């Protein structure tokens, strides 16, 4: 598959992740009478990833997230030569999705941008959590997300079920992390809404790039070590 087709699939997948997940937060969760709440938003993010992994995962690998791309490269599951191209289109897809979402949301009389599903800490955390809590939550949850991805896509894992495990994993991660930071674990997802909101969202964006990438990279080292098949001592002695 050509690089152009693969990055096009990554653009589409990241667009859908941000449009679907953040769209559920901006358009539906903002209205209590619709009954979706933060549980519905968590499910929306999981469903976007699951559906796009099934739809285009066989084309691009279904990353839709710079932290995933880097984590897979560290784990030697993805070539470093393609990392920059993947990250560029992921960010572009997130920004375009946020722009389309803004155009839809602003069609409602009295619309105010507000948080626009942007990620934040301190006074911009949904639950008022500190920067220390944000650092720990984003790092641990991104690490666990990459461990789920690497394990579910391992050649020894049951074939065909990876998108389900990944989608459900992302849902669970959002159920944990939304109150802390609105949950990122994805620098592209954070960048799109931050561009729309500007100001504080752009000032705090550094955390939602640095920490998920570190968490993903650590998983990229940890999973290969954990999953490595051990050579029996008797066989090693004859090698």
Q: What angle do CA 188, 200, 71 make, to 5 degrees?
A: 25
In this prediction, residue 103 carries a pLDDT of: 96
Cα three-residue angle 102-105-109, rounded to 5 degrees: 130
Task: State the Cα–Cα distance between residues 182 and 65, nearest whole angstrom.
Answer: 16
Question: DSSP characters for 49-115?
Answer: HHHHHHHHHHHH-S--SHHHHHHHHHTTSS-GGGHHHHHHHHHHHHHHHHHHHHHHHTTSTT---TT
What is the per-residue pLDDT for 238?
A: 54
Please give the distance of CA 220 from its chain centroid, rounded to a whole number. 15
Output the pLDDT for position 226.
96
Task: Provide block-wise average pLDDT over 10 residues at a time, the chain (239 residues).
Answer: 96 98 87 77 97 97 98 98 98 98 93 93 97 98 98 93 97 97 98 97 98 98 92 58
Question: Domains in the chain, ordered, with CATH?
Answer: 3-103+114-228 (1.20.1080.10)
pLDDT the model gives residue 235: 58
Residue in the structure block whose two tokens are 């997300």: 145
């Amino acid at each position: 598959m050509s690089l152009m087709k693969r990055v096009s699939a990554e653009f589409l997948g990241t667009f859908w992740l941000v449009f679907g997940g953040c769209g559920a937060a901006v358009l539906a969760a903002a209205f209590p009478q619709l009954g979706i709440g933060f549980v519905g938003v968590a499910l929306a993010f999981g469903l976007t990833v699951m559906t796009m992994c099934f739809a285009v995962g066989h084309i691009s690998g279904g990353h839709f997230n710079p932290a995933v791309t880097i984590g897979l490269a560290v784990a030697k599951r993805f070539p470093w030569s393609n990392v920059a191209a993947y990250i560029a289109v992921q960010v572009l897809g997130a920004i375009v999705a946020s722009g389309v979402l803004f155009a839809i949301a602003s069609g409602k009389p009295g619309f105010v941008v507000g948080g626009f599903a942007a990620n934040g800490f301190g006074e911009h955390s949904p639950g008022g959590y500190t920067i220390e809590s944000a650092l720990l939550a984003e790092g641990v949850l991104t690490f666990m997300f990459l461990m789920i991805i690497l394990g579910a896509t391992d050649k020894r894992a049951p074939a065909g079920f990876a998108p389900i495990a990944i989608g459900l994993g992302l849902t669970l991660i959002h159920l944990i992390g939304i109150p802390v930071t609105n949950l990122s674990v994805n620098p592209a997802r954070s960048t799109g809404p931050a561009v729309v909101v500007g100001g504080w969202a752009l000032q705090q964006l550094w955390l939602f790039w640095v920490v998920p990438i570190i968490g993903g990279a650590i998983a990229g080292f940890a999973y290969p070590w954990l999953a490595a098949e051990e050579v029996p001592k008797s066989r090693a002695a004859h090698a």
